Amino acid sequence: MQLGMIGLGRMGADMVRRLLQGGHDCVVYDRNAAAVAALAGEGATGTASPAEFVARLAKPCAVWLMVPAAAVDETIASVAPLLAPGDILIDGGNSHYHDDLRRSRELSTQGLHYLDVGTSGGVWGRERGYCLMIGGEPAAVRRIEPLFATLAPGRDAASVTPGREARGGTAELGYLHCGPSGAGHFVKMVHNGIEYGLMAAYAEGFNILHHANAGAENRAVDAETTPLRHPEQYRYELNLADIAELWRRGSVISSWLLDLSAAALLGSPNLAEFAGRVADSGEGRWTVAAAIDEGVPAPVLSAALYERFSSRDAADFADRLLSAMRYQFGGHREKR
Amino acid sequence: MQLGMIGLGRMGADMVRRLLQGGHDCVVYDRNAAAVAALAGEGATGTASPAEFVARLAKPCAVWLMVPAAAVDETIASVAPLLAPGDILIDGGNSHYHDDLRRSRELSTQGLHYLDVGTSGGVWGRERGYCLMIGGEPAAVRRIEPLFATLAPGRDAASVTPGREARGGTAELGYLHCGPSGAGHFVKMVHNGIEYGLMAAYAEGFNILHHANAGAENRAVDAETTPLRHPEQYRYELNLADIAELWRRGSVISSWLLDLSAAALLGSPNLAEFAGRVADSGEGRWTVAAAIDEGVPAPVLSAALYERFSSRDAADFADRLLSAMRYQFGGHREKR
Amino acid sequence: MQLGMIGLGRMGADMVRRLLQGGHDCVVYDRNAAAVAALAGEGATGTASPAEFVARLAKPCAVWLMVPAAAVDETIASVAPLLAPGDILIDGGNSHYHDDLRRSRELSTQGLHYLDVGTSGGVWGRERGYCLMIGGEPAAVRRIEPLFATLAPGRDAASVTPGREARGGTAELGYLHCGPSGAGHFVKMVHNGIEYGLMAAYAEGFNILHHANAGAENRAVDAETTPLRHPEQYRYELNLADIAELWRRGSVISSWLLDLSAAALLGSPNLAEFAGRVADSGEGRWTVAAAIDEGVPAPVLSAALYERFSSRDAADFADRLLSAMRYQFGGHREKR
Amino acid sequence: MQLGMIGLGRMGADMVRRLLQGGHDCVVYDRNAAAVAALAGEGATGTASPAEFVARLAKPCAVWLMVPAAAVDETIASVAPLLAPGDILIDGGNSHYHDDLRRSRELSTQGLHYLDVGTSGGVWGRERGYCLMIGGEPAAVRRIEPLFATLAPGRDAASVTPGREARGGTAELGYLHCGPSGAGHFVKMVHNGIEYGLMAAYAEGFNILHHANAGAENRAVDAETTPLRHPEQYRYELNLADIAELWRRGSVISSWLLDLSAAALLGSPNLAEFAGRVADSGEGRWTVAAAIDEGVPAPVLSAALYERFSSRDAADFADRLLSAMRYQFGGHREKR
């Protein structure tokens, strides 16, 4: 079937490639003409403007936006006036689901169907397929289901969950209509919140292994340094790449993130090419905000988020105030 | 090759079965004669006492203990005096690595080799193989390596990490000599600490999804209840079993624990058969204690541990004190 | 000077009393006629309707609202149309500062001045004075400064901070113009966030003391219970009321909250009259949300908030999922 | 009455001064002869060796050690052989209470009484008095109670807790016999754990205030930076010194640590003289370890401890691993 794709960055372009490979017809547009030309060379129909883009789409059409979250509203503003009632507009990026609620309300006045599709898969998606979390009206979802089926990893991407056969549904195929507008990005948001937590669990664990030789280090002996009571218990020089590889087989904590950690540590045991300033792209924040709105505790997901903030020195003033208090009550001076 | 196994609970018995299936010769002992008889019926050599057990082993022998952590010392006391210099004693349970350091020191005076083997795999190990984290003297590890190779899941249990072929070693096979005495249980300890963190990340995330309809609930309107500012943002009825299944394919957070969550939620969406009192078996505690000794932060692993404590009402007095303070400064009375 | 007060609950009524005692003239209104009558009997001018209330105020007037956060907008809607340009409207309750930004913008179109005043003091405020955090236009703040000065605790409520004399300003008096609209409630919000953190620090600490006899308890010996490695280290029966009292003198952790804890524990060492379901009134949530917006870590304030959520069983589903996973991978059954 | 003091650092010397001022007789010793000479000039009896020190003490004597935790055992070894049955040895430093349990057992074989006294007060103790948490045998505590009474702040250091008069006891005076050996340092340990939590609560709160102008900053617009959805909500330039001063009067969060924060911020609003590398002296770690042994949650106290670890870059490897994973799954490159 046909899909129009706006936004040909890494994700958008690879999704087009996967759709083309699956026999679909793709009309593409991007401000960057070179990106359009590249995909045109691979079988897509390239266009040079939103107007030409919409003109090339058969009615009713489906337009998928794969642009940065901050650019979604302006992109909608540039294309929605060109669309007709019954057309479908899909936001496949990392929008906040609050924006989905607003956009679907606004676009419905024009007769347009808005779908929010949380998309996980990263740079591996073209090959592995994309995990698709979909929100919006059921009829619109059904209409373009063949596209979702092609983009998704498919049944064989994982082993069968006992009892699943009897259940049916599309979750096993790697895409799911989660609920009404916003539900797709809500589920994707929590997915990323969990992702932060998983990543932090591994990071903390490997950090503890990394410091397992703490007892072998020379330690300052002064009132500002806690002595290690039993240095003989911390004299291990552990091979983290081997341990990550080991845990991939048979252990309770095997996962795709562990696979990636094993690959990273194999190539670079000390990860010295990284500075440790960890970005966050918003979903972790929104997940914690949702937990707080709902009144449910999320200490692990919050700790994972805060660790990223701290890695970017955002706790510095707080730390200076701690040192200032210690100086005030105890005359303690900072060790440099 | 031959192995003597003491402790024929679920784990010990299944390990014997996997070894027998791999062509090894197993001499077994357990206080419970029925457990011995069962395995004798499956091809093991059953024995009725520690003395008979040791007598049936060819010298130098290897004795694997698979007993509760609390029973390891007494089991060693019952069997070590019957062993001879050069024999190997293996603790495959969940001992604290501090105990390994002590035991290896004590047993070495008798010429015995002590190996600590952290074993992950649970009830699935017989089929999937066991992930083995090994500590102790290299020569002793090498001597019984065929046993480790059979117990472990083997190379095909996971995809190949790019660049691994050039590295060699046994990590890809699912067993690893991690370092000197205690290193096996140290690595297993951190493994379980990570496990707690991963589990909590999923649990928190699914809890946020579970409460995504918070805006649809009637909410008390009083000074003790925070109003939900935007109830219209929390009106999703999400199918958690489907979402867990979905995430198994193509997403960044796929893992074995997610596979298990998908299975659990499929059978019981509200998990009503569980009360939510979550046990902890020690390794999570020791992991946090190790982090603190090393002076490295472990907020995620700690939060995961504390959540288990709280689930068992261990925060009750603290909570009562919070209510008492609120009553003192603001006259606030608890809502029941 | 004259003030109109709407909302004669505990806080509003006590503030009127403190103002009357300070020689000010108070016109009061509340839907509850009995509350009006009571204060009329103490020297205030009671009124029976918003119209009568406004009619009794000399122009330009100042109207202070002391109503639940959820009732502020409707109260403003009932009184603002009766006010004239130049009049001042003060919200002294626990509004979200986002609402202040909106209200001040809306009311300014009518020529009204809106002040947001975060008020701390609880049931003790009448006697100790109220700590006032003020946001809004400087001229409006200055106009009613005599009222703030009377409500506030005054200079003698605390010892002099060295160097303060040279600085001047009103902070030493117990009231402060913190910044433009919303600044008062922003500062009050963070104040309450800190309050949660302080309370939780004491609660956790006293809980650890409360359980200092953990080694004396009989402990189940099974695979689901972590053994206490050194029970002899946890055999203290501590008198918490005495310890709280002790810490009030000379220690680094003396505070008003500790004073209140000492009083609570003195009367009831086990606090059995409380169930430990701890309410939260919103500011702690907003504080964490602000931290996340700003990208600064707030692990302590978040943990304190989450503890309150957990005390109200909001983690139950998460806990059941943890038990379900443990059952799935290890066959572990919950202990009841 | 007479006390022998070994260790004339800031704390030890000031305690001697307070005792001298209270009319007691002090015999002092320190390896540093100048420190001895200084106190001799203020009325103490200076001595030049442990032998001379003990010789000057009337029997049965009381010897107070005020030396670094790491030096306690060797100091005891140098003086205990010179003591006689019935003498009292007091450790007033920050020993781990496990060491108290060991020492009291060892010294009792020699007929010596060992008291552990947790001492809070810092550089202010000489003037304000010391808060004393005492563990050991009741008879030994009673024998030197006049010394405790002089060192402690006394009844007037805090307001009376309602109902306290009827209770009696010494807590109101600022010293308390908490329980058997180790109880003093156990209570002091938890005291310091709470201290960390309180400090962190203030530090996080002030950090949120410090960043309240986040919306005024220019923010990178790229996929690695979360946009601030409502920059207009973060445009406050707050005066933290004034706010700290304000909160000292009438607010729920007034405390001595807030007094100190107000003083620190008054002199240096940005605290630029501190680097924010915050030391920890051990008690916070031991408090968390005790919570874990007891199986009670301590998320706030742990978060406070971990913040200190992070301030000293102890999370660096973990952060690098997070960046490495993000690079692996998403091709994300770190922003510098």
Q: What is the pLDDT of residue D189?
A: 98
Determine which one of A106, A137, A145, A195 is catalytic: A195
Residue A249: phi and psi, rounded to 5, are: -120, 110
* B→D interface, C-beta within 8 Å: 252, 285, 288-289, 292-299, 302-303, 305-307, 309-310, 312, 314-315, 318, 329
Determine which one of D137, D195, D245, D307 is catalytic: D195
- Determine the Cα–Cα distance for residues D306 and A324; give it in Å rounded to an integer: 18
* D→B interface, C-beta within 8 Å: 252, 285, 288-289, 292-299, 302-303, 305-307, 309-310, 312, 314-315, 318, 329
- Determine the Cα–Cα distance for residues A87 and A108; give it in Å rounded to an integer: 10
Q: Taking CB atoms and an 8 Å cutoff, what residues of chain D touch A96?
A: 229
SS3 (DSSP) at C174: coil
CA distances from D36 to A302, C317, D29, D43, D56 (A): 53, 64, 6, 11, 14
Instruction: Band the pLDDT of C217: cuts 50, 70, 90.
Output: confident
Contacts 24+ apart (CB under 8 A), C215-223: C220/C335, C221/B70, C222/C335, C223/B68, C223/B281, C223/C332
- Determine the Cα–Cα distance for residues D309 and D302; give it in Å rounded to an integer: 11
Report, as an integer, the average pLDDT of C38-65: 98
Q: Quick one: DSSP state of residue C69?
A: G
Q: For all residues of chain D together, what is the average pLDDT? A: 95
Q: Please provide the size of chain D in residues.
A: 336
Q: CB B204 to CB A298 under 8 A?
A: yes
Our CA-based measurement puts residue D2 at a distance from the nearest CA of chain A, in whole angstroms, of: 28
Q: For all residues of chain A together, what is the average pLDDT? A: 95
Tokens of D270: 């940005």
Our CA-based measurement puts residue D298 at a distance from the nearest CA of chain A, in whole angstroms, of: 12
Residue A319 has pLDDT above 90, yes or no: yes
Q: What is the pLDDT of residue C223?
A: 65
Characterize the bridge pairing of strands C2-6 and B175-179: unpaired
- Determine the Cα–Cα distance for residues C49 and C78; give it in Å rounded to an integer: 10
Q: Edge to edge, what strands does the sheet with D113-120 contain?
A: D45-46, D25-29, D2-6, D62-65, D88-91, D113-120, D131-135, D175-179
Start-to-end C-alpha separation, chain D: 64
Number of alpha carbons in the 13 Å side-chain half-sphere of residue A89: 27
Q: What is the pLDDT of residue D223?
A: 66
Report, as an integer, the average pLDDT of D159-176: 94
Convert the pLDDT of each residue in B36-68 to its tens digit.
999 999 999 999 999 999 999 999 999 999 999
Tokens of D85: 């049955």
Residue D330 has pLDDT above 90, yes or no: no
Our CA-based measurement puts residue B129 at a distance from the nearest CA of chain A, in whole angstroms, of: 6
Q: Taking CB atoms and an 8 Å cutoff, what residues of chain C touch A315?
A: 296-297
- Determine the Cα–Cα distance for residues B22 and B41; give it in Å rounded to an integer: 17
Report, as an integer, the average pLDDT of A200-224: 88
Chain D residue closest in CA terms to B307? D297
Q: CB B329 to CB D302 under 8 A?
A: no
* C161-170, D70-79, D269-278, range with the lowest pLDDT: C161-170
Residue with token string 């505990």: C10
Instruction: Band the pLDDT of B223: cuts 50, 70, 90.
Output: low
B81 or D167: which carries more pLDDT confidence? B81
Our CA-based measurement puts residue A217 at a distance from the nearest CA of chain B, in whole angstroms, of: 11
Our CA-based measurement puts residue C86 at a distance from the nearest CA of chain B, in whole angstroms, of: 31
Reported as type and span, the H/E element at residue B305 is helix B299-311
Convert the pLDDT of each residue in A257-268 to its tens digit.
999 999 999 999
- Determine the Cα–Cα distance for residues A4 and A52; give it in Å rounded to an integer: 11
Distance from the Cα of residue A31 to its chain's centroid: 24
Residue with token string 């030493």: C172
Convert the pLDDT of each residue in C68-88 to its tens digit.
988 999 999 999 999 999 999
Determine which one of B106, B137, B145, B195 is catalytic: B195
Instruction: Band the pLDDT of B166: cuts 50, 70, 90.
Output: confident
- Work out whether the CA dihedral D185, D186, D189, D194 comes out positive or negative: negative
Q: CB A302 to CB C307 under 8 A?
A: no
Convert the pLDDT of each residue in A269-283 to its tens digit.
999 999 999 999 899
Q: CB C299 to CB D307 under 8 A?
A: yes
Q: How many CB pairs under 8 A join C and D?
A: 357
Helix, strand, coil percentages for chain A (3-state, nearest 5): 50, 10, 35
Q: CB A295 to CB B259 under 8 A?
A: no
Determine which one of C195, C232, C294, C307 is catalytic: C195
Q: Please provide the size of chain C in residues.
A: 336
Residue A188 annotated as catalytic? yes
Chain B residue closest in CA terms to D285? B292
Q: Quick one: DSSP state of residue B151?
A: H
Instruction: Band the pLDDT of A221: cuts 50, 70, 90.
Output: low
- Determine the Cα–Cα distance for residues B317 and B321; give it in Å rounded to an integer: 6
Cβ count near A273 (within 10 Å): 13
Tokens of D72: 């306690």
Residue B257 has pLDDT above 90, yes or no: yes
Q: Where are the beta strands (DSSP E) in B86-142?
A: 88-91, 113-120, 131-135
Residue A217 has pLDDT above 90, yes or no: no
Residues 6+ apart with CB under 8 A from D38: D8, D13
- Determine the Cα–Cα distance for residues C255 and A28; give it in Å rounded to an integer: 65
Exposed / middle / buried, residue D229 (Cβ in 10 Å: 0-12, 13-18, 19+): middle
Q: Where on the phi/psi map is residue C4: left (φ > 0), alpha (ψ -120 to 50), or beta?
A: beta
Residue B224 annotated as catalytic? no
Convert the pLDDT of each residue in A120-135 to its tens digit.
988 889 999 999 999 9
Q: Are D257 and D202 in contact (CB under 8 A)?
A: yes
Convert the pLDDT of each residue in B93-119 to its tens digit.
999 999 999 999 999 999 999 999 999
Q: Taking CB atoms and an 8 Å cutoff, what residues of chain C touch D307?
A: 297, 299-300
Residue A307: phi and psi, rounded to 5, are: -60, -40
Q: For all residues of chain B together, what is the average pLDDT? A: 95
Q: What is the pLDDT of residue C272?
A: 96
Residue with token string 């026999």: A23
Tokens of A192: 């990323």
